[in-house]
Amino acid sequence: MKKISLLFILLISISSFSQENTSIEYSKNVVHGSFGTLIYLYSSQFSYDRLIKRSENSFFKAYYATARIGGHFAIDLSGSNSAAGYLTSIGATALTGSGRHHFEVGLGLGYFIDTENVISASNPFGSSDESTFYPSATLGYRMQTSKGFMFRTGFGVVEWAYFGFGYSF
């Protein structure tokens, strides 16, 4: 009985803590560039993401406000029609995952500033304004450290099949 009492006192007096830090550090700012293609459509964009909310208790762990500006062009192999222009968009990007590996989903609204050079009987000068609003969406993978290098790849509307690099701070 004496040995059991001594063992019980010994176990009570030793304090042991084992906790895992589940809090993920997300960068407040991320700047990145990307290049995308879809056979004859090409896009190049520069983006800025600003952290607006963190949530440890939901599927999406971080929410970023996203602003993009870039250019796009399409190649028509027949040579009769080609289009190029600028684009800009604003939206939100949500990240899941832990550590530096994330699944990203982005939604927003963009605006094409687009002109087409098609000479026809109704348009003898060959330039027509094709500017329009468009939905912006991305679905992909992002490797992002709390401060430093960032890589992303995936598929999106206007970004097409994209890859990009950036810096988080």
State pLDDT tens for residues 37-49. Answer: 998 889 999 999 9
> Does residue 139 belong to any structural domain of this protein?
yes
Residues contacting residue 59 through CB under 8 Å, at least 6 positions apart = 96
Q: What is the CATH number of the domain that holds 149?
A: 2.40.160.20
The 10s digit of each residue's pLDDT in 126-167 is: 666 778 999 999 999 999 988 899 999 999 998 999 999 999
At 58, give phi and psi (nearest 5°): -125, 175
Residue 43 domain-assigned (yes or no): yes
Asked if residue 7 is part of any domain, the answer here is no
Closest among 50, 81, 44, 75 to 64, alpha carbons compared = 50
pLDDT on residue 8: 52
pTM reported for the whole predicted model: 0.77
Structural domains counted in the chain: 1
Distance (Å, rounded) from C-alpha 40 to C-alpha 84? 12
CA 32, CA 29: separation in Å to the nearest integer?
10
Is 153 domain-assigned? Answer: yes
Instruction: Name the pLDDT band for 57 (thresholds 50, 70, 90).
Output: confident
Residue 89 has what pLDDT?
Answer: 96
Distances (CA, A) of 60 to 19, 38, 106: 23, 28, 12
Asked if the structure places residue 20 within a domain, the reply is no
Does 50 or 13 have the greater pLDDT score?
50
Q: Does 37 fall in a domain? A: yes
Identify whether 10 is part of a domain: no
pLDDT at 18: 47
Which of 12-16, 39-43, 120-124 bottoms out in mean pLDDT, i.e. has the lowest? Answer: 12-16
Does any domain span residue 12?
A: no
Residues 6+ apart with CB under 8 A from 102: 61, 95, 96, 141, 142, 143, 144
Determine which helix (DSSP H) or strand (DSSP E) holds 148, and give its type and residue range: strand 148-156
Place of tokens 């042991």: 16
Give the residue numbers spanning the domain of 53. Answer: 26-168
